[in-house]
Chain A
């Protein structure tokens, strides 16, 4: 410590010097320096490929999100197909035209657009852009 920082008495200076002498590491040999540097080079080289862990995490996150969206879309398509098939089957299985009308009217509607005839649905899709 410099004198300007906090002046030490002569006794304190002597004490600190003794502590520093008693608590000094062995000095490095040139071979140890070389070994240290070589090991450090290895560690840095190992480090480089994983030096951007946040980038890897981000890529993994985007992939998971894309997979989840794709999976959700597939399930929605499958539900819509099953719903349409069930509707068609219930109407076709009706014994008489009256029953067919009743069946068409009582099939549960999953989507408001399902209530529209095909031609109207096509126009709706064009205008709304779905």
Chain B
């Protein structure tokens, strides 16, 4: 098993010789807790943005991503940084969640709606937030993920490429197209429109 680097990069491999297994597990558990502490907020924020501003869904996605990461630690082979690997899991989990949600909506139209989310709503204009969420939802998956990762979450194009498993050129193209589409859809947020009016 690779030892988890708590920071963003370079996990150091654990010795596989006769080291005490319980001791090793305890160390992995400690490192995992530290990893969660470092990445929890960003994971929830990214999940929230990918899930269309749904706090309950974001929590489910982030929890599942952390659990999957914990489960897959044995297979983590340091081909990428631990954080990139984790965010790749999270982005895939967000996509899975989106598909499940879509399927549930299709199949269970007659079922009672989910209870209202007790969490406090995000600050700001809820209508504008809903419009942004809707505009993002209408983007193709690749463009949506690229835009959220690069422009809203501050990942570099290279990191976004590694997270999504796409080529750097593809990410650049996705980001460019997403930006153009969003500027049309949310024209009132575009400074160009202010200058024209």
Contact = CB atoms under 8 A, between A and B. Distances in A.
B4 interface: no
Interface string B25-65: 00000001100110011001100110001010011001100
A50 to B, nearest CB: 9
Interface residues of B, number: 50
A23 B192 CA distance: 20
A43 B66 CA distance: 9
B63 A12 contact: no
Contacts of B67: 40, 43-44, 47
Given A1-B156, A5-B157, A23 B133 contact: yes
Contact of A36 (B44, B125, B151): B44
A25 B58 contact: yes
Contacts of A15: 179, 182-183, 186, 189-191
B49 A25 contact: yes
Contact of A51 (B41, B71, B120, B179): B71
- Mostly helix, strand, loop or mixed at chain A's interface? helix
Nearest to B125: A22
B36 A24 contact: no
- Interface size for chain A: under 10, 10 to 19, 20 to 34, or 35 or more residues? 20 to 34
Contacts of B190: 11, 15
B151 A20 contact: yes
Contacts of A44: 32, 66-67, 70
Contacts of B44: 25, 28, 36
Given A5-B158, A11-B190, 18 more contacts: A5-B172, A15-B179, A15-B191, A20-B151, A22-B129, A23-B53, A23-B132, A23-B133, A24-B124, A25-B44, A26-B55, A26-B119, A36-B59, A36-B62, A37-B33, A44-B32, A44-B70, A47-B71
Interface of A: 1-2, 5-6, 8, 10-12, 14-16, 18-28, 32-33, 36-37, 39-40, 43-44, 47, 51
Interface of B: 32-33, 36-37, 40-41, 44-45, 48-49, 53, 55, 58-59, 62-63, 66-67, 70-71, 119-125, 128-129, 132-133, 136, 150-152, 154, 156-158, 172, 175-176, 179, 182-183, 186, 189-192
